[in-house]
Amino acid sequence: MKRTIKLLALAAALAVFAVPALAQNDQCTDENKDLWYAKTFLPNFKGDAAQQKLAYDAAMKYINACGLDDQYAKYMKRVLVDPVDANAKTADIGKLFDAAVKGNKYAEQMRLGKQLLEKDPDNVDLNVILGIAGLGDASLLNEAATYATKAISLIESGKTPKVYTKDQALAQLDWTIARSKLTSAPADAITDLLKAAKIESEVKKNPALYVDLAAAYANGSRQKLTAEYQASLKPDKTETDQSKVILENLNRVIDNQIDAMARAAALTPDATKKKELITDLAVDYKYRNKAATDANVTELVAKVLSTPIPDVPTPVTSVPGPSPSSTPATNGNGSNGTPANGGANNGTKPTGSVTNNTSTTGKGTTGTGTSTPAGTAKPTATPTPQRKPLKFRRN
Residues 6+ apart with CB under 8 A from 248: 316, 319, 323, 341, 371
Q: Are residues 123 and 222 in the same domain?
A: no
pLDDT at 219 over 60: yes
> Which pLDDT score is estimated for 322?
56
Burial class (CB within 10 angstroms; exposed 0-12, middle 13-18, buried 19+) of 194: buried
pLDDT at residue 355, as a whole number: 36
- Out of 4-18, 24-38, 268-282, the most confident range is 268-282
pLDDT exceeds 60 at position 32? yes
Q: What is the pLDDT of residue 85?
A: 78
Tell whether 308 and 351 lie within a shared domain. Answer: yes
Q: Is residue 386 part of a domain?
A: yes
Give dist(CA 148, CA 176) in Å, integer. Answer: 7
In a domain, 20, yes or no: no
Contact, 112 vs 100, CB < 8 A? yes
Q: Kindly state the average pLDDT of the residues 147-151.
A: 97
Of the candidates 60, 87, 103, which is a domain's last residue? 103
328 vs 297, higher pLDDT: 297
Task: Report the number of distinct structural domains present in the chain.
Answer: 3
> Could you tell me if residue 222 is inside a domain?
yes
Do 218 and 351 lie in a common domain?
yes
pLDDT digits (tens, 9 = 90+) for 58-89: 889 988 999 998 999 999 989 888 888 777 87
Taking the C-alpha atoms of residue 110 and residue 317, their distance in angstroms, rounded to an integer, is 47
- Whether residue 12 lies inside any domain: the answer is no
State how far the Cα of 375 lies from the Cα of 221, in Å rounded to an integer.
26
Task: Tell whether 316 and 363 lie within a shared domain.
Answer: yes
First to last CA, the chain: 78
pLDDT the model gives residue 370: 33
- Asked whether residue 149 falls in the same domain as residue 134, the answer is yes
> Could you tell me if residue 93 is inside a domain?
yes
Q: Could you tell me if 98 and 111 lie in one domain?
A: no
pLDDT in tens, 381-394: 333 333 333 333 33
Q: In the listed set 57, 79, 103, which residue is the last one of a domain according to the structure? A: 103
pLDDT of residue 114: 95
Q: What is the mean pLDDT of the chain?
A: 79
Confidence of residue 366 (pLDDT cuts 50, 70, 90): very low
> Which residues are bridge partners to 345 per DSSP?
310
At residue 170, the pLDDT reads 97
* Dihedral sign computed on CA atoms, order 266, 271, 273, 279: positive
Residue after which a domain boundary falls, among 103, 125, 147 = 103
Does some domain include residue 156? yes
Q: Is 10 inside any structural domain?
A: no
CA-atom Rg of the chain in angstroms: 34
Q: For residue range 111-146, list pLDDT tens digits in order.
A: 999 999 998 999 999 999 999 999 999 999 999 999
Q: Is residue 208 included in any domain, yes or no? A: yes
pLDDT higher at 327 or 32: 32
CB atoms within 10 A of CB 374: 13
Residue 14 burial (C-beta neighbours within 10 Å; 0-12, 13-18, 19+): exposed
Q: Which amino acid makes up residue 227?
A: A
Contact 214, 275 (CB under 8 A): no
State how far the Cα of 374 lies from the Cα of 243, in Å rounded to an integer: 9
| Closest C-alpha among 225, 224, 228, 234 to residue 377 | 234
The answer to whether residue 14 scores a pLDDT higher than 70 is: no
- Which CA distances in Å does 263 have to 66, 221, 259, 374? 72, 19, 6, 35
Determine the pLDDT at residue 90: 77
Selection from 92, 88, 84 nearest residue 51 by Cα:
84
**What is the DSSP code (8-state) at residue 315?**
P
Query: 155: how many CB neighbours lie within 10 A of its CB?
Result: 18
Taking a C-beta distance cutoff of 8 angstroms, is the pair 381, 367 a contact? yes
User: Residues 376, 248, 193, CA angle at the centre, nearest 5°?
Assistant: 145
Same domain membership, residue 374 and residue 312: yes
Least confident of 37-51, 218-232, 259-273: 37-51
The CA–CA distances, whole Å, from 104 to 99, 117, 153, 161, 352 equal 9, 19, 25, 19, 15
CA distance linking residue 371 with residue 319, whole number of Å: 9
Q: Which residues have a Cβ under 8 Å from the Cβ of 120 and sit 6 or more positions away?
A: 126
What's residue 13's pLDDT?
40
pLDDT confidence of residue 321: 63
- Mean pLDDT of the 87-107 span: 89
Report the Cα 270 to chain-centroid distance in Å. Answer: 23
Percent of the chain with pLDDT over 70: 75
The 10s digit of each residue's pLDDT in 247-282 is: 999 999 999 999 999 999 999 999 999 999 999 999
Within this chain, do residues 117 and 208 fall inside the same structural domain, yes or no? no
Instruction: Encode pLDDT of 331-359 as tens digits.
Output: 333 333 333 333 333 333 333 333 333 33
Q: Is residue 151 located within the same domain as residue 235?
A: no
Range of the domain at 79: 25-103
pLDDT recorded at residue 330: 35
Residues 339, 230: one domain? Answer: yes
- Kindly report, residue by residue over 230-256, the tens digit of the pLDDT: 999 999 999 999 999 999 999 999 999
Shared-domain flag, residues 90 and 116: no
* 228 & 355 share domain: yes
